Structure formats: structure tokens, C-alpha cells
Structure 1
Amino acid sequence: MGEVVLGLPGNWADDNFEISDHYTTKFGGLPDWPFPESSLGPELRQCKSCRSNLWLIAQVYAPVTTAALKIEERVIYVFGCTNANCGSWRAIRVQKPDKFEEPNSGDSEVSHSTLSVATTSDSKWWDDLYSFAPESDDTEETEDMSMQDLARAFSEAANLASGSVKEGTGRHVETCQKPVSLVPKAREVDRSTLVLPCFYICYQEDKTLSLPVDKARVNIDDDDADRQEELWKEESYEYDKALNADRTYLKFKKKLDACPQQCIRYSFGGKPLLAAGSVVDSRPCDHCGESRQYEMQLMPPLVHFLQEGAIGAQRELLDSWSWMTLMVFTCSKCCFQKSDQEISNRNGWTVVEETVIPQFEQPLTTLQLGYFS
């Protein structure tokens, strides 16, 4: 599938420690776990490289529906190391089958084909959040989805966002209001914890994918590159001039210019937008051994918007980030845990670490985005 949904900056949280729930998609703040955090274990909240604490970069509510699989209780958390000299990343996938049986009531292994979507009134709006409806005999077309419905559903997922707005450039706030009925119950928060500025997300589909081939093409000859460079200078964000840029970078830059506010690109099972070179093959799933596939990536405008609300140590860490994109690869089978003890301790929730693959600025060129200057 080639469809892509873009996440744009919405409202700021009233407070960086603002409590939401796991249906909320946001950047920064504290993670909203669907189970007691004490059952998670401290090792998943520490950097593997230097053992420093991690802080939340993104929390993405990401239900999935395919012909053989329906999981509405599914969230991806992306963390970064708080040590500016380290620069490590971790992604955690948590999910739960719709009908979870206690371990002593039967086989704890869950069959993907038997999963069903909940029918509670509060959950109906996300039924079509990420569904693939067969439209033809072609394999690729059978995984098509209604991007209009998907973008709408993602925007409704952002309804948990705060109603207050800080001044900021180009924020999409009109669809990000928090319904009182979905505000979670209070929980204890350690306000000494170092967190990133917190804001919520609004969504739209990537409209460049619907352009005619001759307009969306990436193979730019010398004359086209000169004309394209003139157009790029008119965009709301200023870029350093890309000297000796290869076609991969030009494609990345062109897609970014088409929507300069995009903080995240989401395309379950799609193709990543590469900033340079090629993707290093992600390891198979540590839990089930199946291959991993691309699901989403964080984009450089995220750093710019986080810097708007950053102070002190927050700004120091953000200034140390030099990545151009962080790509998240997840298990292609969306596997579940089979350990009775593990799932019972978390009320049926599976917790699996996934793969984050960063791509950085090219050190020998001037391929440096203005967000990092």
C-alpha cells in the first residue's frame, strides 16, 4: 500500500504532565500506559546504551484491521535517551486482543483470525481507523483503505487534545478539542520527571500521492532541479541549499516542502520516505521471529515545534538532535505474548520492543535542514 497519513501539530497540552489515556496521540509529556506502569519494569524505560532515563517522544494510537487481523487496542510509544551525548532510541508496541481470557480459563495464545472489534459507543469512531477493504483480485489493491475515513478517524483520535493553545506558527487546532467524557481519571504524577513539551496531533492524508506521475516524479533532471529549487525558496521554512544532493534526498525534501508542518508520517506496511541512502534491514521480531515492516516515521519539523515550548534541559537535548528522520519498524504479524504470567500481570496487554532506525544529516555535505540551525 502507498497511502500515507500526515500528523500535523495541534494544541499544546495545558500542562506537560497532563494526563490522557492510551487512545491519545501526542508528542512529549508522559506516556499514558493502559496498565499500571509498575508492571512494565524499569528496564524498558532505560537507555540500552548508557542506562540513562528515557523520555517520551511520541505516543501513537495505532489500531490495525486487515482481512485476518483486527486489533483496536494498540499503541506505539517512541522514546529517546535523555543523555545528549548518547542519542539512542526505543520503540515499544503494546496491544491487547478484543476478548482477553484469564490464563486459567484456556489457551493463552490468541489467534489473529478470531479477533473482533469492540462495539462500545465510545469506540465506534475508530472502527475504520486502519482497515483494508478488498477491492479487486490484485494483492496490492486488496489492502487499500479509504484515506478520507482514515484521516477523519485520526483527527477524531486527537479529540483528547487540550483546548488551550500556545502561540505557534502554522498549528492546526480547529479539530483538536477535548470531550469531557473522555478525560481520564487522575493519577499520581512525579513532576520532577524530565519530559518534553507536550502537544497533540491533527491528521491529513498526503495529497502528493494523488498527483499525476509527471508532477510527483522524483527523477529530476538538471533543468527541473533548478526550477524546483526556486519553488522551494518560497516555502514557509528556509532550508540550507542542498549541494550535491542525490535523488533520495531531493525526494525527501520535496515531500517535506509539500507539507512543511508534518511531524509524523504513518503508513502501516508502506514504504518509508528515506532521507539518505537505504534502510539498514531491521531485525526480525524479537518475540515471534517474523519479519518487521515499516509503520511510521518522525520528521524534522517535530524538533522545530518542540523547541517552541522547550526551556533549559529540554532545549539542550533538542539542540543535540541531528537526525533527519526516525523510522519505526514493527512486527508484520502484530504478534501477541504467550506467557501466562506476562499477560496476566498487565490484564492481557502484550508489550514488545520494536525497531527504530534513524537517518542523520550528511556530515560531508550541506544537506542540513534549517530546523537544526
Structure 2
Amino acid sequence: MTEEVHLGLPGPWAEDYREKADHYTTKIGGVPDWPTEDLGIEPELLQCRLCGSRLCLVAQVYAPVAKLNIEERTLYLLVCPASKCSANPKSWKVLRAQKCNSGMRTNGSVDELVQRKENVCSSQPPPSDSVGRHNEENKSNNSNDDDFDLDALAEALEQAATLASSTKKKTKSKRANNVPTRCAAVKEKVNDLSIPVLPCFYIYFDKEKSRGKSNVCSTSNETVLVEEIMDMENDEQEKWEGEKYEYDSAPGADRTFLKFKKRLDAYPQQCFRYSYAGKPLLAAKYSQDVGTCKLCGSPRHYELQLMSPLSYFLDQAGDGSSNCAPNAWSWLTLVVYSCSKNCCPSSCGGKPANCRWGVAEEEIMIQEDEACNA
């Protein structure tokens, strides 16, 4: 069975990079939206290991885990804003904020990223659950007009009209531009100027298409690239003389990197990839030992990875409203590994009645662009 990969693609820019959202919001940059003020985060968790400066948010990803009935779970990727530190892997951190059992019902697949609350000025606003369920019920009941409830239909239409009137009109196409669009709505902002911020834009998701399915690529050449990637994966165990000559004879050619580049080129706007307990898309053969969970000792597994286009979109901001920038970043991908058991980071003992929010530090592996470091 093919693993499901969700791609984080750029949505609209925030009007103010310090604007508040909530922990259900997936975004790049801005200020962290902690689920509660009483998280009990130790100050050193938010400080650079190298210089002690306050870390800034790179990505905030709402990441529920359905099979464990964990909806209240968000990942925060942070980095030191100082250029002398940000190129060093030790200046990066990933924190998992989690309530081990919220008692809420979870919908969707194991690794599906579900947006529970409507993001302000989202370019792809999620449909109302109630309206969506009502539409499905209407489709299933079309064949039985005798039971059709006109009052319920009128009520649903009224709800839909209200939702439409309060939601910003969608842009002509969510893939029409190479950079996010500005958002007209202004939200309450965080006034703590001591928190360094990167330019902020919101994220929408799209699934990476599997072999044999249509994809979002706009040209036939890009479609061919995706097919070539899949062919490379299926043929990795085979030894074809022609391929051997192509990859082994070309100076500097690396099969792993070529596969990485083609997957990246197929979706050139991807800021990150998410596949809970899936396989990372590595840019180089080498990898580091990601160790075990510091809390429970369980092995860590892959969850998500940042991709290099993220740096490009952040560079497009450049309007002076951010006090840090990714100028020193030279990585190709930054891979996040999390506890495979999603152990509860609070001291509740795993008992739902006692569960409180807690924070655990997870592991990051960085694969650099060697050409930039040469």
C-alpha cells in the first residue's frame, strides 16, 4: 500500500507577522500559537543552545493522530534568528505540544492533517462540518423524495449563506501565483517585541499523487518527471547496465539526490512534506542516529520535513516587518522525527481525567546543500 504524503503549500500572507491565531492553525513563521498559557515550558527550551538567544518560529503544524485518539497535538519548529547560529543544526529545535487524550472524536486517516478551526483569510477555507454532512445526506436521500425535509434544507442554505458572507472570496486559483497573496483581514497581534519573527504565511494541504494518478503539475514535462521518479523507486533493486553507466559515470551524480530533486521539481511550491510514520525523502544517502524519545525511551519515527522552497517564499517578504531572515540557511531538507508512541509529555500518568498539556522536544536531522558549504 502506497504511503500517503501531504504537501504543505503556501497560502495567503498574514497582514501582520505577529498576529494571533490558534494551535489548530498550520503556518510558516510568525509567533507560536501555544494551546494554553500554562504549558510549563522551561525557558531553555525556547533558547538557542549556542548563543542563548530567543528562538523564532519557522513552522507550526497541527498534527493530530487518529489511531491514538489524539486531536490536541501541534508541532513547533524553531531556530535561532542569528545568522551565525542558524546554519548550525544545534540552533534548531522541534517541540511537540500535546494533550494525550482530549476525549474528542477524531475523524480522518492516521496521518491526515485536519484543520479544526477556520483559519483567518485562508485561501482554501475548509467547509463547515455540519454543512458538509448535510450535503452528503442530501445526495444519499435524492432517491427518496417523500422523506425530503424542506425545512432542514432551508436551514442548511441559510447556514451556507452566512458562512459565505463571513468568508473572504477565494483567489482565482490556489496555484496561480508562485508566492502567497496578502491577507486583507487584520487580527489581534502579539505585542511582545522580544519574540523574534519570520515573515508569516498560512498553509493549505494537497496530497502528493501516486503513480498512475493525475497530478497537479501544469505541464507534460512535469508529469514525465513524476513518472520517472516512480520508475526510479521501483527499479532501485535492479541493476541495469544503462542506468549504471548514467549514474556512475556522470561526475558528482548521486541517485538519491536526483530522486529528491525530481520529487521536489514535481511540486516546486512544497514548503514541507508530512507523512506520519512514513519514509522521508532524503537528499543524501547519509543519515544520523535519531535516537529514542527522551521521555519514554521509545524509538522515534519520521513525521515531517521542511523543504528548500520554504526559504524562497520567506525571502520574498523582505519588507522590513521581520527581525530575522533565512539568509544563512543552506539546507536542502530538514527532517523531523517524533516519538513513535506519542507519549504524554505532561505528568498526568496517561490518565485522561488528569491529562494536561505538556511539551516534549523531538529530533531534527539536517541535510545540507554541500555546494553552498564548499
TM-score (norm 1): 0.69
Match of 1:216 in 2: 230
Structure 1 residues 302 and 315: alpha-carbon distance in aligned structure 2, compared to 1, 3 A threshold: farther
Structure 1 residues 251 and 158: alpha-carbon distance in aligned structure 2, compared to 1, 3 A threshold: farther
Match of 1:308 in 2: 316
CA contact (8 A) 2:101 2:355 kept: no
Distance 1:262 1:97 in 2: 30
Distance 1:82 1:190 in 2: 16
Q: Secondary structure at the match of 2:259?
A: helix
Aligned length: 298
CA contact (8 A) 1:3 1:209 kept: no
Structure 1 residues 10 and 313: alpha-carbon distance in aligned structure 2, compared to 1, 3 A threshold: closer
Give 2:15's aligned amino acid.
Answer: D
Match of 1:159 in 2: 119
Give 1:79's aligned amino acid.
Answer: L
CA contact (8 A) 1:208 1:258 kept: no
Structure 1 residues 215 and 188: alpha-carbon distance in aligned structure 2, compared to 1, 3 A threshold: closer
Match of 2:3 in 1: 2
Are 2:94 and 1:86 equivalent residues in the alignment?
A: no
Q: Secondary structure at the match of 2:98?
A: strand
Structure 1 residues 64 and 210: alpha-carbon distance in aligned structure 2, compared to 1, 3 A threshold: farther
**Paired residues for 1:117-132 under 5 Å:** 117-118=104-105, 127-129=106-108, 131-132=109-110
Q: Secondary structure at the match of 1:17?
A: coil
Match of 2:339 in 1: 331
Distance 1:257 1:223 in 2: 24
Are 2:245 and 1:258 equivalent residues in the alignment?
A: no
Identity %, equivalent residues: 42
Distance 1:7 1:275 in 2: 18
Structure 1 residues 158 and 207: alpha-carbon distance in aligned structure 2, compared to 1, 3 A threshold: farther
Distance 2:245 2:203 in 1: 34
CA contact (8 A) 2:302 2:336 kept: yes
Instruction: Determine which structure has more spread, i.e. the larger CA radius of gyration.
Output: 2
Q: Secondary structure at the match of 2:281?
A: coil
Match of 1:64 in 2: 65
Q: Secondary structure at the match of 2:302?
A: strand
Structure 1 residues 309 and 207: alpha-carbon distance in aligned structure 2, compared to 1, 3 A threshold: same
Match of 2:19 in 1: 18
Are 2:247 and 1:248 equivalent residues in the alignment?
A: no
CA contact (8 A) 2:26 2:203 kept: yes
- RMSD, aligned CA: 3.9
Q: Which runs of 5+ in 1 are unaligned?
A: 100-115, 119-126, 133-144, 228-241, 367-373
TM-score (norm 2): 0.69
**Paired residues for 1:1-373 under 5 Å:** 2-36=3-37, 39-66=40-67, 69-87=68-86, 88-99=91-102, 116-118=103-105, 127-129=106-108, 131-132=109-110, 150=112, 153-154=114-115, 159-161=119-121, 169-171=177-179, 189-209=191-211, 216-218=230-232, 244-311=252-319, 317-337=325-345, 339=347, 348-363=356-371
